[in-house]
Amino acid sequence: MTETYRTIRIEQPADGVRRVVLARPDQRNAQSPELLYELDAALTAASRDDGVKVIVLAADGPDFSSGHDLRAGFDLPRDPVATMEGRFERNGVEGHYAFECEAFLGLCRRWRELPKPTIAQVHGRVIAGGLMLVWPLDLVVASEDASFSDPVVAFGVNGVEYFAHAFEVGVRRAKELLFTGEAIGAAEAKQIGMVNRVVPREDLERVTLELAVKIAQRPPFALRLAKASVNRSQDAQGLQQAMDTAFAQHNLGHANCLARYGQLMDPSGADVIRNALRAAHG
């Protein structure tokens, strides 16, 4: 816990529990590369600390995460940790593909395999890339005001890079989520199994911490074995292969946009998403 962070905060709310807090509230915790790699460093440190039994990921401000911070660019702030990638400076899709293999899909897969139980403490909106901070974690406790959406089809790609949609919400709900860009509310997310518990906003921190403390009483190695067993069960159902295929489709979308618009995303996408939000909220 000696490293100094600019975009996250580290807390120790109870014995055996490490809380990592996204701390870019003015940007709705949009994920700059700096935030992603500070988060990875904090999660790695917690995994290596024998005093930490359970890791909680929370967030400051009104929303858990508004997704990727597209204004922050795509330069790695640190050497690669999830892959052996290079070629980040290459033109066309090649350089960006290397970046996404490392910083997006690579980090998410790394976090899914953390050897300790992880809990997402979610409030407000979780948009697009925000899902990539929630879905790799083991448990999700959400406040009643939480919502989950992936509207990036409007940008000319299939969905976010960690493409676990069908496994998280089911096939037909995943298609509706992607085709319309509409959000899933917390109550429905619990009903379909994406969220473990839904509580009033004022109870979110307390309930999440109580759950973390309860889990922390179990033998750490047995928890690790249980987590790995469930993850491998999901992998046996094809999660990793499906994700690899979807990731290739995602980058095909980028290549198409680059050929058509001279940039990696459809430039009309932002207006499509804004107009849809205005229509949904009157």
* Predicted local distance difference test score (pLDDT) of residue 282: 66
**What pLDDT is attached to residue 280?**
79
């980090």: which residue's tokens? 107
- Mean pLDDT on 59-80: 95
248: tokens are: 């290739």
CA distance 119 to 83: 25
Q: How many residues does the chain have?
A: 282
Where residue 276 falls among pLDDT bands split at 50, 70, 90? confident
What is the pLDDT, as a whole number, of residue 159? Answer: 98
Q: Where are the domains of the chain?
A: 8-280
Checking if the pLDDT of 1 tops 70, the result is: no
Residue 2's pLDDT is: 57
> 128-176 pLDDT, tens per residue?
999 999 999 999 999 999 999 999 999 999 999 999 999 999 999 999 9
Q: 145 near 186, Cβ under 8 Å?
A: yes
The Cβ-side half-sphere exposure at 234, using a 13 Å CA radius, reads: 19
**Coil, strand or helix at 180:** helix
User: What is the percentage of the chain residues whose pLDDT exceeds 70?
Assistant: 99
Judge contact between 39 and 110, C-beta under 8 A: no
> How confident is residue 86, by pLDDT bands cut at 50, 70 and 90?
confident
Tokens of 3: 């490293």
pLDDT in tens, 200-242: 999 999 999 999 999 999 999 999 999 999 999 999 999 999 9
Higher local confidence (pLDDT), 11 or 273: 11
Instruction: State in words which class domain 8-280 has.
Output: alpha beta
How confident is the model over 120-135, as a mean pLDDT?
98
What gap in Å lies between CA 81 and CA 101, rounded to an integer?
11
Question: Edge to edge, what strands does the sheet with 147-149 contain?
Answer: 125-127, 147-149, 184-185
Burial 100-118 (b: 16+ CB within 10 A, else e): bbbbbbbbbebbbebebbb
Average pLDDT, the chain: 96
| 139 three-class SS | strand
Distance CA 211, CA 209 (A): 5
pTM (two decimals): 0.96
Cα–Cα distance measured from residue 159 to residue 220, given in angstroms and rounded to the nearest whole number = 35
What tokens does 269 get?
A: 């996408």
Half-sphere exposure of 37 (CA within 13 A, CB side): 15
Percent of the chain with pLDDT strictly greater than 90: 93
At residue 3, the pLDDT reads: 76
Q: Where are the beta strands (DSSP E) in 23-137?
A: 54-59, 118-122, 125-127
* 197-199, strands of its sheet edge to edge: 8-14, 17-22, 54-59, 118-122, 139-143, 197-199
Q: Nearest-CA neighbor of 57 among 2, 132, 6, 3? A: 132
Q: Give residue 87's pLDDT.
A: 87
